[in-house]
Amino acid sequence: MSQLSQHFNREEFACKCGCGFDTVDTELLEVLEAIRQHFGEGVGINSGCRCASYNLDVGGWPSSQHKRGRAADIVVTGTTPEEVQSYIDTTWPDELGLGRYESFTHVDTRNNKARW
């Protein structure tokens, strides 16, 4: 395993199609480490990097930050997505992309604030 940060390795972020795309933005790693530290629980990566083909296959946006290695769909052990979303929105109120979903949270390091 190729360790990227204290709690995350490259394989967790790799495109699920097997193409080998696994480049991860360092700012995204810092955000995910902060989330893990705040909740004191593991952060699972449901979806990290996506090549253009895989992004299309899963119905991702054509301009998805996943295609740039700047996004992750996450689940925090023992924590509701609502709690995770609230923490992100409060901690980074004027930046990051934050997608609110019922079973997971999307977070990305785009250059401007976005909420959906």
Helix then strand then coil, % of the chain, to nearest 5: 35, 20, 45
| Residue whose token pair is 């990227």 | 4
Domain ranges of the chain: 10-115
Mean pLDDT of the 64-73 span: 98
Is domain 10-115 annotated with CATH 3.30.1380.10?
Answer: yes
- Find all residues with CB under 8 Å of 56, minimum gap 6, and list them: none
Confidence (pLDDT) at 1: 67
pTM of the model: 0.95
What is the per-residue pLDDT across 4-36, written as a single tens digit (0 to 9) for each?
999 999 999 999 999 999 999 999 999 999 999
Question: Is 72 in a helix, a strand, or coil?
Answer: strand
Beginning with the edge strand found earlier in the chain, give each strand of the sheet holding 97-100 in spatial order: 43-47, 71-76, 105-108, 97-100, 114-115
**Does position 74 have pLDDT exceeding 90, yes or no?**
yes
